[in-house]
Amino acid sequence: MSEIAVSLKNVSKCFKRYPHPADRLKELFFPGKSRAEEFWALRDINLEVLKGQTLGIVGQNGSGKSTLLQIIAGTLTPTTGDVWVNGRVSALLELGSGFNPEFTGRQNVFFNGQILGLSQSEIEYKFDDIAKFADIGDFIDQPVKTYSSGMFVRLAFAVVANTDPKILVVDEALAVGDAKFQARCMKRIRELKEQGVTILFVSHDSSSVKMLCQRAVLLNKGKMLTDGDPKDVVNRYIALLSSDTSTTETENINPIPVKSDLIENVNHQKKDIHRHGNKFIVINSVKITDSDNIEIAGKIETGSIFNIVINLEAKEEISDLVIGISIRNLMGVVIYGANTHLMNIKLPILNIGQEMSVSFEIPCSLNRGVYTVTVGIHSEEGMSYDWMDEILILEVINQQVCDGLVDLNSQIKIHQLYSSVIS
């Protein structure tokens, strides 16, 4: 057990819901008869998180994610099951949770720091770092009730991230901050990860989960559907969001063969490709062509033009068709995504049996590397017709020397400056 940070065995949580406020009072005076409706937020959760592991938790609203984190943080007790936590837990569960609105920011730092197990001297030592991270200026000495929602979460995360936690629990609260603050938070989370801190991370941002986490779990209606590689778990989560049912169809689809050894190694690692949808529209083929519409079976060079060509067939009459693509790197980060709806292109109505070809023409600004292409067809309301996740793999080569995901093709100009000489 010394290598385990968090252990949950058969954990369930039931909340009581009363149809009428008076029912709670009646149950108090007449305890023999229950007037409550039971709502099971969690059912038989078994989970072990190793020390130093970063676990992503994904799921739709109401799936039990926040309840699970609160049980791990100790702010809720399970109805049944056993919870074991090894190490100091710092949790950012809800916006400004634990803050007294009448206290100033400074007072709340000391108050929350002591709740998290720090001594007065430790908080005094860390206070300047906390204030600098929160970056709320003179508001640190103003009552918290005067703060904006962004200031709330900045100060809350600053306290949590600077208390040397052994286990960091972060709910969706980071989505409240602006882009600059979110980048600062993610950088701090990566630093804690490198320091060996165990991190439990809830987010609807699938790219962050795949990039940051070593493992992920998917919750749905209080039950754990899957536990494993973040990319596979997120793929199933996306399928769950866009499907009428809670099942995901997985089909074996052979990507376009490419002779590059690097891509062959990637293909060897891909056991299957996730495909889901109600099949009102079916993707018959996806291919990549060059600017002359000749199919590419090799590499793409930075600066060239390529097309992603999608051939589809209607199995039902469809009038609200949207076709989209997503290009990701091997960490699962979306580099580029677009669809016909976002590009203000209205596709024609398709009758049963009718076929159509749609081509996305793309100037390649990607830097050298291996990328995947995902293709999705759905209605304007978001109902999935057919989705092929990472159906194609493409390799980009670049003769120039640059770093990063894209080549911005920068130019260098040098202007000689001359100073006057006074004799």
Whether the CB-CB separation of 387 and 276 falls below 8 Å is answered with yes
Residue 164 confidence (pLDDT)? 80
Whether the CB-CB separation of 93 and 176 falls below 8 Å is answered with no
Architecture of the 4-230 domain = 3-Layer(aba) Sandwich (3.40)
Joined tokens for residue 338: 């677009």
CA atoms of 340 and 53, how far apart (whole Å): 40
What are the residue ranges of CATH 3.40.50.300 in the chain?
Answer: 4-230
* From the candidate CATH numbers 1.20.1530.20, 2.30.29.30, 2.120.10.80, 2.70.50.60, the one assigned to the domain spanning 249-397: 2.70.50.60
Residue 56 confidence (pLDDT)? 93
Residue 134 confidence (pLDDT)? 87
Residue 290 confidence (pLDDT)? 92
Binned average pLDDT, 10 residues per bin, the chain of 423 residues? 88 84 69 75 95 93 90 91 90 69 92 84 92 90 88 85 86 66 78 91 81 91 93 86 52 41 45 78 94 86 95 94 92 89 94 96 93 92 87 89 87 82 60
Residue 205 confidence (pLDDT)? 76
The secondary structure of 196-247 as a DSSP string is: T-EEEEE-S-HHHHHHH-SEEEEEETTEEEEEE-HHHHHHHHHHHHHSSSS-
The secondary structure of 71-110 as a DSSP string is: HHHTSS--SEEEEEE-S-EEEE-STTTT--TTSBHHHHHH
CA atoms of 199 and 297, how far apart (whole Å): 42
Residue 338 confidence (pLDDT)? 95
Burial class (CB in 10 A: 0-12, 13-18, 19+), 415: exposed
What are the residue ranges of CATH 2.70.50.60 in the chain?
Answer: 249-397
Residue 84 confidence (pLDDT)? 94
CA atoms of 68 and 53, how far apart (whole Å): 17
